Each structure stands twice: as C-alpha cells, then as structure tokens.
Chain A
C-alpha cells in the first residue's frame, strides 16, 4: 500500500522519445489504469515504475522515497506480465514461492504463505502441476499468486488479460477487482482495451504518444473529455465527430456527439439521414447512417428496433451532450 509519484519522467530509445515528460501521482490504495493505443508508451511507463527500464531523466518516488536508481527487487513492487512469465520447469508451488525463496525466507514460512495464496486464488488442487498443464485462466492466477505472496507495496499489471478468451476475461476482470477490494493494495493496470479501463479503474490515465492526455475517473473522461483524442478513445461505439458548417453553428471547429446521445425521430433536431447498416445486439441497435449534413454517423438506439437499410431517419442531438473542440482538438468550455 503506497503512493507512487512520477516527476518529469522521460524515456528515449535512441533518438526516439517514448515517454515525453510524464508527471503523475498514483494514489495509495487506488486502482489506476493506463490506457492508450498500441505504441503510446503505456507499457514502457509501467516498466519504468517497475525498474525494468532505466529512466532517461526524471524521478520515480514510492512513498516519498526516490527509487529512480534502485533495481526492480528493491522497489518491493510485484508485476503480472502479459505472457504470465511463469517458470515452465517449476511446479505451481515453486513458482508462487520463488520470490520468497529469493528473499531467503525459511521453508515452512514459504509453504504457509504459498498455501494461503493458493487458497485465495483456488489453486490448492494444482500446486504440484507445472504451468504447461494449466489452462490460461489458471496460469493467470498463478502469476497473480506469485505477485501477492510477497506482500508488495503495489501491484503492476501489464495487459494481463489479453491472452484470455472473452468469457474468461470478464471473469478474471472481476477476480482482479475483488482482489483489489480485499487487499486494499495500490494497483496499476495497463490495457489497450477501453472497456477494461472503464469497468475496472477508479482512475484512468489516457496516454497518447508518450504524453498524458487526461487523468480522471471513468465517468469524468466519458462526460468531459479534455481533448479530441480522449473523446474518440473512450466510449464504444466511438463518438461521432462532425466538422464544417454544422460545427460552426455550435461555435467550434469540431463537435463530438456520442452515438447514445442522438435521438431518432426527433423532428426538431434538424438532421436527416439514411440507414446503411444496422447491427442488432438485442439490448441495443447500432445504426450506421449516412447524412447529407453530418456525413457518416453512428447512432445507438435502445432495444431492438426495426431498422432496414435505405430507410430515412430524422436525427436530433441532446444539446447538453454535444462536446465542442477547437481547431487544436482541445475541448471548449
């Protein structure tokens, strides 16, 4: 349980700046998610915190102590890797106990801690198996077990769910959140999946090209994106962006409106369109329409509505839900 601070952190690989000056305060006991498209530097940032990469400049502080020059082990953090990085020739028991063995703890204490971790994670029946004999979800749990036995100051997760199938991902997502609740530990979680970020985080850090675009709670980012990038990245289906004369009418270079904030059949909205494709999900219907004023536009309608291609639509915006951006892509108040 601890607070991690990043101060003016930079990381260059050769001439390429991967992290271009990041200041961030990761709160004690919080669940912070780094999210961004691939190549935005989110994994590098996590590795910088872990001590697996050296900083080009800047500082990393844990509980106020400067750990910039310390090796990964001395930082007392634990990390769960994307590939799990289990040791294939060791049993589950030895995998989980490895950090304790390296810390030269007595055998009986290691055994007790491994047992406890295995119970928490429902792994007791598999302690003598090798990683190769486990399913993806079980391997994931072993990786988490190896992290929790050390009682680290904070947990770092590097896209831990991306190798799992969809159903298992939802289940593991819940398990990690429960773990966070029960341990009350600081967790930093990297993902490229904005759904994971929205559901798990109490604080999201959106990264783009090695810079922080915005930090905030999931709903803050959803309701008040500060930039065009954040607006487009958070939310599914993606926000519609409209520029030109329609945007000028709102006094902005670009306006954004989420698919769920467009009303169908509102005659006062003033826009028309034709349905190109409709996706029926049962609970929702995503309508991809073509509008003479707005261009291509996605509309999310609740329920399963009748929508066949070629049908004409009347579209209206919820005025309070229109996001306005200037020519630089920054939100206007």
Chain B
C-alpha cells in the first residue's frame, strides 16, 4: 500500500463491500425515522400524511410504556448478575483438574447453541408447566402446590430462561481468562502468604475485571432486545419489554408509525444504558 496508485486501487476494491454495508445500515434507519413521523396505520389506510411527534407522544404515554422500560432494564440487570455470578462459579470449578473435564466443558457450553425459541419452548412445556412440568412434579413430590411460573412470576421466569442461555457464555469467557493467569503469580502470592481467599480477592478477581466487563457489555447489547423468550412463553402482556411493545404496536395494532417511533425510543434507551455502563465499568478496558 505504498504508492498513491495502489492506495487508490485498494479503496476501489473495498468500496462495494463498504457501500453495501452502509446501505444495509442506513436504509432501515432512515425508513424507520421517516415512518415514525407518518400517520401509518394499516387499519386506517385513509389517514396519512405527516404526524409530527404524535407517534412518539402516544408511544410514551401508552399505559404499557413505563412497565416495558422497567421490564427491559430489570431483565438486563437480573440476567447479567445471574450469569456473571454463576459463570464465575462455574469457571472456577471447570478450571480445577477432574476426570471427564473435557466432556463436562462441552456440556456446559451447549445451552448457548440452542435457539432461544427452542429453549423457551422446552422451559415452558417440559420444565415450568404447572401441570406436567418437571418443576411441578418436584414440588408435588414434597407436597407444595405447583407454581404457575408464567402467570405468577412472568418476569422472573423469562429471566431464568435467559440466564440459563447466557451462563455458558460468561463461564466460557471467564474460564479462558482464568487459564491465562500466570502460574507464577499463584506461586508468588503463596510465597507472600496469601491464602486461597486472599489469592482470589487480590489476584484472580482483578485479573478477571476485564473479561467480566466484556461479558457485561456484550450481554447488555443482546439482552436489551430480548424477544423470542417473551413471545414464545406468551408473557408479553405481563412482562413485555420495549422490544415486545414495538412488536405489539406494529404487528398486533398494525400501527407502523407508532412502532417505528417506539423502535427509535428503544435505540435511545440502549444508548443511554451503554453510556452509563461505559462510564461505570469502561475503565476496566484500559490498561
């Protein structure tokens, strides 16, 4: 890439990919912005023209909106706490030498490969069903009235399913980080008189700060727009998040304009959350 000539050719060569990716990103965004200012309801095709900010106004003043925002944030928070804490514990266990470790590691990772819709169905029908679910069976064994998970604790149920899916991810990343910890550090801290707990507190945890930060940031991105688990378990009305509310406005109320406005509000919320996160834990990523 030394000469001006070869640089020009290089730009020309990557241009198609860059242009396609740019269009891929910008067309849906611009269309969403455009729709969000239109009167665009499939049930009332006669009403059209500019709507000003009324789509945004109606979305925000919708009675489900505060609940949806709360559910969105609560889901993100609980799943992150559960998967990081559980993942840390799992990773510490999997880092120990024991017989059959290779197979156990494979098994631990497997939930991550299961489609969210499939795992939600399995949890809904095989595990949490109040009549023939495994949990109901176990509760009846000890004489407790089976809990109707999705009716009584819908948000917690969705959080449990999502945590189960994300646990392997954080366990895997933390495990890899644990394995990159220099053995001599362990020896040095042993010479310095650190016992197991101090070693964990002063050497292992600081070493894991960065991978845990990465886990939190990545999980936040995906958990902010979690949808399949809520849709499949039919708890949208009880524990719907912003993504579900957008779906509800667009595909159940057929109000494309308001759904678009909701989508943009979700984008703004996602940005607020990420700014907040980067402020708190982003410095862990610096050296």
Contacts and interface: CB of A to CB of B under 8 A. Distances in A.
B185 A50 contact: no
Interface in A254-285: none
B206 A89 contact: yes
A99 to B, nearest CB: 4
Q: Which of A71, A72, A86, A146 has the most CB of B within 10 A?
A: A72
B192 A102 contact: yes
A78 interface: yes
B207 A89 contact: yes
Contacts of A79: 187-188, 191
Contacts of A71: 190
A16 interface: no
Contacts of B188: 79, 81, 85-87, 146
Given A83-B182, A89-B209, A98 B202 contact: yes
Interface in B140-193: 182, 184-185, 187-193
A93 to B, nearest CB: 14
A85 B193 CA distance: 15
Given A85-B185, A132-B287, A50 B191 contact: yes
Interface of A: 47, 50-52, 71-73, 77-79, 81-83, 85-90, 98-99, 102-103, 132, 146, 150
B203 interface: yes
B206 A72 contact: no
A132 B287 CA distance: 8
Contacts of A77: 191
Given A87-B202, A87-B206, 7 more contacts: A77-B191, A78-B191, A83-B184, A87-B188, A87-B189, A98-B189, A150-B192
Contacts of B192: 73, 98-99, 102, 146, 150
Interface in B186-233: 187-194, 198, 202-203, 206-207, 209
Contacts of B198: 102
A81 B192 CA distance: 12
A150 B193 CA distance: 10
B187 A73 contact: no
Nearest to B194: A102
Contacts of A83: 182, 184
Interface of B: 182, 184-185, 187-194, 198, 202-203, 206-207, 209, 287
Nearest to B198: A102
A85 B184 CA distance: 6
A interface majority secondary structure: loop
A87 B185 contact: yes
Contacts of A78: 191
7 contacts: A50-B191, A83-B182, A85-B187, A87-B203, A89-B207, A98-B192, A146-B188
A244 B188 CA distance: 51
Contacts of B184: 81-83, 85
A102 B193 contact: yes
B203 to A, nearest CB: 6
Contacts of B182: 83, 85
A71 B193 CA distance: 9
Given A85-B182, A87-B203, A89-B206, A99 B187 contact: no
The 7 closest A-B pairs by CB, nearest first: A85-B188, A73-B193, A85-B184, A99-B192, A102-B193, A89-B206, A72-B190
Q: Which of B187, B198, B202, B287 has the most CB of A within 10 A?
A: B187
A103 B193 contact: yes
Nearest to A103: B193
B215 to A, nearest CB: 18
A83 B187 CA distance: 11
B245 to A, nearest CB: 42
Contacts of A99: 191-193
B283 to A, nearest CB: 12
A146 B192 CA distance: 8
B88 to A, nearest CB: 17
A146 B184 CA distance: 14
B105 to A, nearest CB: 24
Contacts of A88: 207
A52 B184 CA distance: 10
B184 to A, nearest CB: 4
Contacts of B203: 87
Contacts of B193: 73, 99, 102-103
Contact of A73 (B185, B191, B209, B287): B191
Contacts of B209: 89
Contacts of A146: 188, 192
Contacts of A150: 192
Q: Which of A50, A51, A85, A86 has the most CB of B within 10 A?
A: A85
